[in-house]
Amino acid sequence: MSLKPRRFLESIFSNWPAKIISLAAAALLFLFYRVNTMDERFFSVPLRVDPPAALAISKPYPKSARVTLRGKEEAIFTVIEEDIEVYADFGRFQSEGQYRIPVRVARQGTSLNIEPLDIRVEPAEISITLEQRIEKTVALEPVISGTPPHGYDLVQYTIVPDSAQISGPRSIVNTVEAVELEEIDLDERTEDFTEQVEILKENALIQYPRERTVVFRGIVREAVIIKTFEDVDIISIDLSLDLRLAEPLPKGSIRIQGNQRAIEALLPGQLRLVIDFGEIEKPGPETLYPQPDIPAVFVVLKFEPQELDLTFILARMEEEQE
């Protein structure tokens, strides 16, 4: 080996610890410069947690993660939230218990072509409690609000289907007896109606049926009420001109059933009790039977009196007494 190459090699390896330190310092300075010239961007993405099929998560856990992107400004702002997938896979665990694993990040879409790109995620790890998964059929219950206009009632309703199968952790599913539907408003309802109603998913730890809605059918009818009318007139018909009653007729009462609005619209005199005197031919005591006289749209449930003991006298005797 010639003298010059030997001196060159000796100059390279002489005082090598100091040279290594200098190179390391230069590399650190370069990295520090790169870090300080990189921009940051923050956003939140859904945190996907995958439990094993036979187990279910039984306690609340974070549903989203905060993602920090570090890189060149013009690059990191081209990344959309769907390009970063954050997940924790608990599929390898096969028994009940509490487990903690790191949260992982998968790059996709535009983020695959960006370098340098530093991705940090919070939380960096996640802890969940796994419990046996069970299934159960529960009733579906409507939540009814408001009332139909005055004089109308919801008299009947049906839900199709009227039950649903849910699944989830044993300790939670065992406490569920029914699942509510979204609110059904009865205001302004005067006719039968049919509508799609969503199933409320109130507990994020429970899996609900794939069908999100049920069919609700409501039957609305005019409200039917029962009302008793007092001081109803008792009138007579076909009384002979030769006869008179010894005492004035009393008042009666009628109990009827019918549409609320129709009953409330009744006028005085539309309800009465009628006695037919057509067969009374001579004076003396008689037992007669009043009959209700009301509009045909109503049903008579009860009326009083149902019989009357009356005394008839000759009309001329009444005139002589006067």
Cα 121 from Cα 19, distance rounded (Å): 38
The Cα 126–Cα 50 span in angstroms is 12
* pLDDT tens digits, one per residue of 204-228: 999 988 888 999 999 999 999 999 9
According to DSSP, residue 82 is labeled G
pLDDT(6) > 60 = no
pTM exceeds 0.85 for this model: no
Q: Tell me the CA distances in angstroms from 297 to 61, 95, 224, 271, 276, one per residue in order.
A: 63, 70, 11, 12, 23
Q: Which residue has the higher pLDDT, 236 or 34?
A: 236
Query: So what's the pLDDT on residue 285?
Result: 94
* pLDDT surpassing 70 at residue 190: yes
CB contact at 8 A, 106 and 85: yes
Q: Is the pLDDT of residue 13 over 60?
A: no
- Assess contact for 287 and 307: CB atoms under 8 A: yes
Please give the Cα distance from 60 to 35 (Å, whole number).
37
Secondary structure of residue 254 in the 3-state scheme: strand
Q: 102-111, 191-200, 250-259: which range is least confident on average? A: 102-111
The confidence score (pLDDT) of residue 109 equals 86
β-sheet bridge partners, residue 57: 130
Single out the residue of 142, 214, 139 nearest to residue 181, CA to CA: 142
Same fold, 16-131 and 225-321: yes
pLDDT at 174: 95
Looking at domain 225-321, which CATH architecture does it have? Beta Complex (2.170)
Q: Check if CATH label 2.170.120.40 holds for domain 134-222.
A: yes
Q: Do the beta carbons of residue 183 and residue 198 sit within 8 Å?
A: no
Position 147 confidence tier, pLDDT thresholds 50, 70, 90: very high
CA distance linking residue 77 with residue 40, whole number of Å? 9
Check if the beta carbon of residue 67 is closer than 8 Å to that of residue 44: yes
Distance separating alpha carbons of residues 164 and 156, to the nearest angstrom: 21
Q: How confident is the model at residue 32 (pLDDT cuts 50, 70, 90)?
A: very low
- The domain limits of the chain are 16-131, 134-222, 225-321
* The pLDDT value given to residue 115: 85
Domain 16-131 fold:
RNA Polymerase Alpha Subunit; Chain A, domain 2 (2.170.120)
State yes or no: pLDDT of 87 exceeds 90: yes
Mark out the alpha helices in the chain (DSSP H runs). Answer: 3-13, 16-37, 73-76, 170-173, 260-264, 315-321
Retrieve residue 302's tokens.
């009860």
Half-sphere exposure of 84 (CA within 13 A, CB side): 29
In DSSP terms, which residues pair with 214 in a beta bridge? 197
Q: Is 7 helix (H, G, I), strand (E, B) or coil?
A: helix
Spatial CA neighbour of 103 closest among 83, 84, 126, 81: 126
